[in-house]
A and B are shown apart, each in its own frame.
Chain A
């Protein structure tokens, strides 16, 4: 019987053969903390008797949820974390680099075959480069900071095999929304999802990030794409590593296999108030929107903003729609700027903000009033996620977000000329 990529990563890191279902205390290659869950993690680290972190070079700190500080309390949390970083000699990117998950990958802090944890549920995004990465709470992070290791129950793997060529203006976000609707909000609980197949082989790292990012929306412990030439090309300028092969064996024991064909996939929209509710855009077309958010760790990369800009062309956004565009990181911002897209978005009527989580988590800015509707390229549409519990959040791709921002109602991006 062969092994899954997840079993192989744990076996490789633990130096012995490990199978799904086993509980191991595995060494960590990296740990990420941010401004929301970080203060509690540090507190727990000290409560556990921690004095020095296991390895400052394997820890990354940054602030992205409430930046620049939007309250005195947030500012105090930032100060607390800065002090800890200085004391422990941890690299702190502070408010300067952007959304945590994007930054971790850009800075090469997660790599193929590694085990990485983050005190944020969307840490599963690092699977885009073939790492086993999972979100943990603050107490587990306190433990991880102290010991450089954590208990894992090695998960079984759901193999999602994707084939077909995406139709025009349909992409990774539409795929993952469709997969989430198929698997369900708890369909992958305690499991990993491996994305594979010809469509994934051809998909760039940004699209793979979008897919792996949303594995948690099915309850998964991790999303992962086996490293290939695209992965190693991405890693080249980020880490000194010799490419190697780590992938699931054909006869691995998968929890289940599911296959998807994107050839006829329509743009998808997840309707309030759950993520696993995607319907073809035609089903909700015409729904009035008050705010459109283009950004987040899910869809705030240059490729996403370019996709939106292609739909926008020289047109203007509907003046009755508040359009908020937030590149996911400084690098993505610069790419967007250099391509002239920031000017295009601004001229069309959007607010282009500096890299941060923005309205996604409903804490900092861009909150919704009761009765308002947001269309968002982010990852969650829970009731109250972006402000009032009487507001509604729909999730979609960058192309659908742009099309709808132009018309003021949910619109199929293929219908915008």
Chain B
């Protein structure tokens, strides 16, 4: 496990991929990776990303917590992050040094939680072609991910979430806000 893992924002992750460059490895997982697999229920009393990281994928893939390096990328299939709403799941990945998760599709709550905490979920329909251990990097500007020299197109973040991504998560986004533009009729 890397020490001194400072959770960077998704924006930095986007901007900083050239720095991470080809040293990042892909950790390949299958379809329907649920948040219980990412962080089992018995560790949910922990709220600190670094401590959660010690148990990331425990019982599912024990080598992950031991060998994951700063900037590594988790690659999933369909419906990544399904199940429980536990934000401990994206936090455990952030604590592990992971800044980007690439999958064919994401479960809704995990997708939103990830953006909110500054982990970047990237939709790529070709993750089936990416091998475990592949050297991987994201070029967000041009909209592709490169794995072992091959390029695969990625989808942009939904428009209305871009502001949160740009801010580095929902906390920095919301911090300066006094009120939000609620669409509302007069309340009872």
Establish whether residues A384 and B60, one from each chain, have CB atoms under 8 Å apart when the complex forms: yes
B42, CB-defined interface residue at 8 Å: yes
Could you give, for residues 27-69 of chain B, a 1 whenever the CB lies within 8 Å of some chain A CB and a 0 otherwise?
0000010101100111011110000000000011000000000
Q: Quick one: which of B32, B84, B160 has the most chain A CB within 10 A?
A: B84
Q: How many residues of B contact A (CB 8 A)?
A: 49
Does B185 touch A at the CB level, under 8 Å?
yes
Does any Cβ of B come within 8 Å of A371's Cβ? no
- Asked if A137 and B82 make an inter-chain contact with CB atoms under 8 angstroms apart, the answer reads no
> Of A47, A147, A361, which one neighbours B175 at CB under 8 angstroms?
A47
- Please, which residues of chain B bring their CB within 8 A of the CB of A274? 32
B169 within 8 A of partner (CB): yes
Q: Map CB proximity to B onto A143-154 as digits: 1 under 8 Å, 0 otherwise.
A: 100111101010
Docked-complex contact A15 and B183, CB < 8 angstroms: yes
CB atoms of A40 and B59 under 8 A apart: no
Which residue in B88, B116, B180 is a CB contact (below 8 Å) of A140? B116
Q: Interface on chain B toward A: helix, strand, loop, or mixed SS?
A: loop
CB neighbours of A285 from chain B (8 A): none
8 Å CB interface, B105-160 against A? 105, 107-109, 112-113, 116-117, 158, 160
B116–A139 CB distance below 8 A: yes
1/0 contact string of B166-178 vs chain A (CB within 8 Å): 0001110011110
**Nearest neighbor of B117 in chain A, beta-carbon distance:** A139
**Is B47's CB under 8 angstroms from A43's CB?**
yes
In the complex, chain B residues whose CB is within 8 Å of the CB of A24: 183
**Interface core residue of A49, A73, A138, A149 (most chain B CB under 10 Å):** A138
Which A residue sits closest to B174, measured CB to CB?
A48
Task: Report yes or no: B180 in contact with A25, Cβ–Cβ below 8 A.
Answer: yes
Number of A-B contacts (CB under 8 A): 162
Q: Is B86 part of the binding interface, using a Cβ–Cβ cutoff of 8 Å? A: yes
Instruction: Please tell me which stretch of A184-192, A286-294, A323-331 contacts chain B, meaning at least 4 of its Cβ atoms lie within 8 angstroms of it.
Output: A184-192
Contacts of A384 in B (CB 8 A): 36-37, 40, 59-60
Among B40, B183, B186, contact of A26 (Cβ-Cβ < 8 Å):
B183
Chain A contact residue count (CB 8 A cutoff): 64
**A residues within 8 A CB of B23?**
none
Q: How far in angstroms is the closest Cβ of chain B from A255?
A: 14
A379 to nearest B CB, angstroms? 9
* Chain A neighbourhood of B107, CB < 8 A: 186, 189, 219
Q: Which of A5-24 contact B (CB under 8 A)?
A: 12-16, 18, 23-24
Q: Which residues of A contact B171 (CB under 8 A)?
A: 44, 47-48, 139, 142
- In the bound complex, do residue B160 and residue A151 qualify as a contact, i.e. CB atoms below 8 Å apart? yes
Q: Is the CB of B59 within 8 A of A382?
A: no
Contacts of A361 in B (CB 8 A): 41, 44, 84
Q: How far is the CA of A383 from the CA of B57 in the complex (A)?
A: 11
Residue of A nearest to B84 (CB): A121
Chain A residue at minimum C-beta to C-beta distance from B105: A186
Query: In the complex, how many angstroms separate the beta carbon of A235 from the nearest chain B beta carbon?
Result: 16
Quick one: CB contact mask for A347-365 with B, threshold 8 Å, 1 for yes? Answer: 0000000000000011100
Report how far A382 CA is from B37 CA in the complex, Å.
8
Chain B residues with CB under 8 Å of A119's CB are: 85
User: A57-81, CB under 8 A of B: which get 1 and which 0?
Assistant: 0000000011000010110110000
Query: Could you tell me the distance in whole angstroms from the C-beta of A290 to the nearest C-beta in chain B?
Result: 18
Interface flags for A32-65 (1: CB within 8 Å of B; 0: not) read 0000110110011001110000000000000001
Bound-state Cα–Cα, A380 to B107, Å: 15
List residues of chain A with CB within 8 A of the CB of B160.
23, 151, 153
Contact present for B181 and A185 (CB under 8 Å): no
A139 touches B85 (CB 8 A): no
Taking a contact as CB atoms under 8 Å apart, the answer to whether B108 and A190 are in contact is: yes
Asked if residues B187 and A27 are in contact (CB atoms below 8 Å), the reply is yes
Which of B47, B78, B83, B87 interacts with A137 by CB under 8 Å?
B87
What would be 21 A-B contacts, judged by CB atoms less than 8 Å apart?
Answer: A13-B184, A13-B185, A25-B183, A40-B87, A43-B47, A49-B174, A121-B85, A137-B113, A139-B169, A142-B174, A147-B182, A185-B82, A189-B107, A219-B108, A221-B108, A362-B40, A363-B41, A380-B36, A382-B83, A384-B37, A388-B59
List the 7 closest pairs (A to B, CB-CB), nearest first.
Answer: A15-B185, A137-B113, A389-B59, A73-B45, A186-B79, A139-B116, A363-B41
